Structure 1
Amino acid sequence: MPQKIETVIFDLGGVLIDWNPRYLYRKILKDEEQVNWFLQNICTSEWNDEQDAGRSFEEATRELIRKHPGWEEAITAWYGRWQETISGPIQETVEILEAIKKSNGYRLYALTNWSAETFPWALDNFKFLHWFEGIVVSGVEKTRKPFPEFYQILFDRYKIDPSKAIFIDDNIKNIEGARKIGLPAIQFQNPQQLRAHLTQIGLLN
């Protein structure tokens, strides 16, 4: 961990915002087994990563329907009903963010893998996103975590010294990517674990 933390960097989906495509596909598909199969074989995380890195929804949907025409309705729902993949804020983590903000001792930023086409909706619907001094969005930058250049955009744009920062993300690949470039990181498991860790390193009382 850094000796003196000046900057706290949050991931969004899975840390502050409860995003899960299962919330949508449990409404569309017949059972959990079919949901799992669909997300492992049709609308996969690898496919979604490309939209996070800047590919348009239109292109992504068209290509997938061409490969899997029998699943057109479910594929189209991924973006047609995208808001149903979000259940709301992870309130306990929002409270941790608020406590850090009120301490006035830290700079707050977000680094998120998120499509440029849907992120404006998040900004309109989650007021806590406006607590950050800056947010770097993968779909806007056309690159994403865990690639080093994406973290570097944040460092360069906001003059952040990674050795004096801490990064919070739920995805182990993103944690490993951060650590490889000298950015200390905590893998988020749940708000209680995060609060305990931040208290242990002196960031929270």
Structure 2
Amino acid sequence: MKPSIELLLLDVDGVLLDYQRSVRVRHLARSLCVDSAGVQQVLFESGLERRYDSGAIDTAAYLRTLSEGLQAEVSAARWIQARLAASRPHEDVVRRILALPASVRIGLLTNNGPLMAEVLRALLPTLCERVADGLLCSGALGGRKPDPVVYQRALHRLDAEPARTLFVDDLFTNVRGARQAGLQAETVRDGRSVGRVLKRHGLPG
């Protein structure tokens, strides 16, 4: 018999949010009056975004490098606005999560740098209020999913046991990494699949 779940740890993009990278690139390009291809190259193809997501550089260095690469000042506010424009909450999923009893702790674990926390507080205020200190960005943990060490660091921050933690993600590679770290983990795609997973683990879905 599996241990009862005390912590539900959720991926963000693909589970709680529908995220369109191309929309983000176009929005940032328009706001800076630069070419979209340049934003794509500096932000993603250069590896800058991945370095920020993994904690290799801090927010100040990230924004400075991005600004230098685009030859235009990218403020935190402008970055956040572009991310907001590209992200839409999966309302059915959010509603199911918020309906869970208060006895179930909720955490978020996203492969993003620390600036993403501000995006989530703007898009999902009620959920973030319930999550409180359980909003974890990979950049602040010094790695990225699916590295098992990232899950271990997340659970250390949350003072949670792997066997009593259920992690859900839309990417199986991240689910596999969580299982290697000892968590119970499942792949989900939408509100219905989230509901099925919750019920399978003894949670009201």
TM over 0.5: yes
State percent identity of aligned pairs: 25
Residue 84 in 1 paired to residue 61 in 2? no
Structure 2 residue aligned with 1:168: 168
Q: Counterparts of 1:92 and 1:9 in 2: how far apart (Å)? A: 17
Match of 2:114, SS state, is: coil
Structure 1 residue aligned with 2:140: 140
Deviates more, 1:55-64 or 1:152-161: 55-64
Match of 2:99, SS state, is: helix
Q: Counterparts of 2:129 and 2:171 in 1: how far apart (Å)? A: 23
Q: Is the 8 A contact 2:80 2:115 kept in 1?
A: no
Shift of 1:80: 4.3
**1:154 to 1:118, Cα distance in 2 relative to 1, 3 A:** closer
Question: Cα deviation per residue 1:147-184 (whole Å; 9 max; x = unaligned)?
Answer: 22221122223321111111011222221110111111
| Unaligned runs of at least 5 residues, structure 2 | 31-35
| Unaligned runs of at least 5 residues, structure 1 | 30-34
- Taking structure 1 as the reference length, the TM-score comes to 0.74
Shift of 1:106: 1.3
**1:64 to 1:130, Cα distance in 2 relative to 1, 3 A:** closer
Shift of 1:64: 7.3
- Taking structure 2 as the reference length, the TM-score comes to 0.74
**Pairing of 1:54-73 with structure 2 (within 5 A):** 54=55, 55-56=57-58, 59-60=61-62, 72=70
Question: Cα deviation per residue 1:119-171 (whole Å; 9 max; x = unaligned)?
Answer: 23432442111211522222223322222222112222332111111101122
> How many aligned positions are there?
194
Structure 1 residue aligned with 2:129: 130
